[in-house]
């Protein structure tokens, strides 16, 4: 299976991998982080009732982390990146 990510998502993954390595010495890969995120969300019991789009799901997931939410991205910006 292949998944296409936007440039900003790849940059975010690289920063996360780098931060993990600096903080703990662990050598994770982009793919390992993605698998961990998927497993974490799928196993979290997240209420997905009423989710009608990828962006609504993203916002629901981000809201579970409270520390730092994502600003809503206007649909026109998301289409421009793809």
For the stretch 7-24, pLDDT in tens is 999 999 999 999 999 999
> In Å, how far are 8, 16, 17, 40, 57 from 31, measured between CA atoms?
16, 12, 10, 14, 21
Ranges of each domain in the chain: 1-45, 46-77
Tell me what pLDDT residue 68 has. Answer: 53
Average model confidence (pLDDT) across the chain:
85
CA 82 to CA 79: how far, in whole Å?
A: 5
Extract the runs of DSSP E, i.e. beta strands, from the chain.
none
Q: Is residue 72 within 8 Å of residue 59, measured between CB atoms? A: yes
pTM more than 0.75? no
CA 54 to CA 51: how far, in whole Å?
A: 8
User: What's the token pair of residue 25?
Assistant: 């010495």
- pLDDT(25) > 70: yes
Q: Is residue 14 within 8 Å of residue 30, measured between CB atoms? A: yes
Q: Which residue has the higher pLDDT, 70 or 30?
A: 30
């Amino acid at each position: 299976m292949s998944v296409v990510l936007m440039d900003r998502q790849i940059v975010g993954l690289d920063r996360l991998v780098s931060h993990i390595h600096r903080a703990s010495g662990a050598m994770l890969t982009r793919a390992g982080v993605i698998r961990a995120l998927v497993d974490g969300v799928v196993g979290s019991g997240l209420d997905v009732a009423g989710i009608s789009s990828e962006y609504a799901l993203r916002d629901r997931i981000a809201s579970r982390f409270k520390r730092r939410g994502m600003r809503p991205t206007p649909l026109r910006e998301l289409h421009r990146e793809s």
